[in-house]
Structure 1
Amino acid sequence: MIYTITVNPAIDYVVQLPEMTLGSVNRLAHTAKLPGGKGINVSQILNDLEQPNVALGFVGGFTGAFVTDSLKAKGLNCQFTTIADDTRINVKIHAEQETELNGAGPEITDVEVDAFYQELANLTPDDVVVMSGSLTPSLPDSFYYDIIQKVKAAGANFVIDTTGEALKKTLPSQPLVVKPNNHELAAYYNTTFNSQADIIAAGQKMLAEGAQHVLISMAGDGGLLITPDHVYFSPAPKGHVINSVGAGDSMIGGFVGTFAKTHDAVESFRYGLACGSATAFSEDIATRAKIDEILPLIKIEDLTN
């Protein structure tokens, strides 16, 4: 089973208007209320790939009920932990410029955290736990690290979508895959890249530090997969980018979901790229039809010397 964790989900209240004037009454042309969260995005892709998964996290209040009900209507298997405080609301303003007003998140008590841990009490070596997104202010910085220890004790695999110092702390625990983009990878090693060879060398270094697979996204320049024995490259498929939000989550979903079925890193890379691109070419998280449309466009080359 694949478990996705969205610690701090939200209602994304999306509003559109031609222009916004501060200090005045503004009339909205269009509004939408959507359940948001990086782990939730991963679960939606896993559902598209018909890969069984469970969405975990914390929800509370009428806003949390909206998130849960909306996701169940989409067919997601949600086993969220109910908390006393309300799930946050993020406001996404699309006017002449895009502006976001993101809530910090609810207060989560120690008792509620203990209840959440019970959802991970029966992990097996066949399971994968995917951790994505920000923590609420009330949780300690060690929250994800504590989950990783539980995952490793069960012999299961984990994926954490993070960067910087937080990523450095997780590498010795051997995550199944890490997914930095080329800019994040350069920042991680406090360097600059002058060539694709430089990017590959940094990815191989990250592999040596503990990652089982390194997936590097390079936007319009394509993607790289680095394994212990091979380096693979794929150019970016051609298409009109509509929405980059969720593309990275979709890439993780495509890779992890396919790897759970096949244990084939190259095929997982292919699906990861297709899912990420399909979301980038869509208004929301990609559908299976869009993923299937993109898959034939993914061409993978083995760069191994």
Structure 2
Amino acid sequence: MIYTLTFNPSIDYEMNLAHLSLSHTNRSTHESYRLGGKGINVSHILHELGFESVILGFRGGFVGDEIQRLIYQFGLNEKLIELEEGTSRINVKVLGKVETEINGEGPLIGGSDMKQLYDQLDMLGKEDVLILSGSIPKCLNDNIYETILSVQNAKGVLCIVDATKDLLVNTLKHHPFLIKPNVAECEEILNESLLTTKQVVEAAKKLQEMGARNVMISRGKEGAVLVDENGGIFESKGLKGECISSVGCGDSMVAGFVAAYLKCSNYEEAFKLAMACGSATAFSEDLAKIEMIERCYNELEVRK
């Protein structure tokens, strides 16, 4: 079974603006809200690709109740732990010529709550996949992913990490199967500029030297690069088209990679489906549907 872990799920309230003027009253042209949280996004795309998963994490308050309702509405599976204190996040995303996000802090996760999560994770075995995605509340330490990965990796669970800064770096010594930083995140980790494809490939190799098995680096409109554990290097340029929203693109890539790898154990194919899913979400108002994913897949080219 595939498990996605989201410590900080949310309701994302999206507002479309023609122009954003600071210190003035702004009126949106359109509003909508949807499930947020990177692991939930991954589960959503996996479901679209025909792969079931279980959403792990925490929910709190009336927002948490709505998160659970929407998960069931979309036909997804969850084992979210209900918190006694605080409420899950409402994130405001302003969409227009420039995208702006205001993310909530998130609820308080206590020791007893974490024990319930660890009890759930104890059930995972070598036939399972665990995807650790996104940020964590301030009440948790930056080594939380490392703690989880050290135990799960030792059991043979296939672990994927999509996180930033120390939350990601701390896990590398435990050899995650896949990490998927973007260029900006790599630049921050390695403290260097990555302007060319060659530089991005070298950055991926450095992250492998730090412990990651496979490194997929997304580059926005420039596409993405994969350096796999066998020394394979794959590149794909971004498809031409109108980017409606970048929200969920990276999560879609992770889902596509995992789905294809579990199906055929081929890194080139996994990378191509990852690119197709990420591009399809960029061209969609919400997370991608299978029709758009298939269209993007047929248009994509992967170069070795």
TM-score by length of 1: 0.91
Identity rate, percent:
38
Partners of 1:114 and 1:50 lie apart in 2 by 32
Equivalent residue for 1:140?
Answer: 141
Matches within 5 A, 1:173-192: 173-192=174-193
What is the CA-CA distance between 1:241 and the residue it aligns to? Answer: 0.8
Structure 2 CA distance for partners of 1:278 and 1:98, relative to 1, 3 Å:
closer
Equivalent residue for 1:232?
Answer: 234
Equivalent residue for 1:160?
Answer: 161
Equivalent residue for 2:76?
Answer: 76
- CA deviation string 1:47-77 (max 9, x = no partner): 0111121111101222111111111111111
Report if aligned partners of 2:43, 2:52 keep a CA contact under 8 Å in 1: no
Partners of 1:144 and 1:129 lie apart in 2 by 11
- Most deviating of 178-187 and 292-301: 178-187
- Most deviating of 194-203 and 26-35: 26-35
Equivalent residue for 1:119?
Answer: 120
- CA deviation string 1:60-101 (max 9, x = no partner): 222111111111111111111111132122233457865533
Partners of 2:134 and 2:202 lie apart in 1 by 27
Structure 2 CA distance for partners of 1:147 and 1:31, relative to 1, 3 Å:
same
Equivalent residue for 1:200?
Answer: 201
1:130 aligns with 2:94: no
State the one-letter code of the partner of 1:9.
P
Give secondary structure in 2 for the equivalent of 1:90: strand
Give secondary structure in 2 for the equivalent of 1:70: helix
- CA deviation string 1:145-164 (max 9, x = no partner): 22112212321121111233
- CA deviation string 1:220-255 (max 9, x = no partner): 222211122221122222221110111011111110
1:255 aligns with 2:222: no
Give secondary structure in 1 for the equivalent of 2:70: helix
- Most deviating of 8-17 and 288-297: 8-17
- Most deviating of 225-234 and 272-281: 225-234
Alignment coverage as a number of residue pairs: 302
Structure 2 CA distance for partners of 1:274 and 1:94, relative to 1, 3 Å:
closer
Structure 2 CA distance for partners of 1:118 and 1:222, relative to 1, 3 Å:
same
Partners of 2:196 and 2:30 lie apart in 1 by 44
What is the CA-CA distance between 1:29 and the residue it aligns to? Answer: 5.0
- CA deviation string 1:181-240 (max 9, x = no partner): 233323322223454222222212222322111112222222211122221122222221
Equivalent residue for 2:3?
Answer: 3
Give secondary structure in 2 for the equivalent of 1:301: coil
What is the CA-CA distance between 1:279 and the residue it aligns to? Answer: 0.5
Equivalent residue for 1:209?
Answer: 210
Matches within 5 A, 1:15-26: 15-16=15-16
Report if aligned partners of 2:15, 2:30 keep a CA contact under 8 Å in 1: yes
Equivalent residue for 2:14?
Answer: 14
- CA deviation string 1:260-291 (max 9, x = no partner): 22211111101000000001111111111110
Partners of 2:171 and 2:36 lie apart in 1 by 25
- RMSD of aligned Cα (Å): 2.2
State the one-letter code of the partner of 1:185.
C
Partners of 1:236 and 1:22 lie apart in 2 by 32
Equivalent residue for 1:223?
Answer: 224
Structure 2 CA distance for partners of 1:291 and 1:114, relative to 1, 3 Å:
same
Equivalent residue for 2:107?
Answer: 106
Report if aligned partners of 2:173, 2:210 keep a CA contact under 8 Å in 1: yes
Structure 2 CA distance for partners of 1:229 and 1:283, relative to 1, 3 Å:
same
- Most deviating of 269-278 and 98-107: 98-107
State the one-letter code of the partner of 1:116.
L
Structure of greater Rg: 1
Partners of 1:278 and 1:147 lie apart in 2 by 31
Return the match for 1:300 from 288, 299, 302.
Answer: 302
Give secondary structure in 1 for the equivalent of 2:114: helix
Structure 2 CA distance for partners of 1:220 and 1:98, relative to 1, 3 Å:
closer
Structure 2 CA distance for partners of 1:269 and 1:16, relative to 1, 3 Å:
closer
Matches within 5 A, 1:87-102: 87-94=88-95, 99-102=100-103
Partners of 1:288 and 1:82 lie apart in 2 by 32
Report if aligned partners of 2:39, 2:251 keep a CA contact under 8 Å in 1: yes
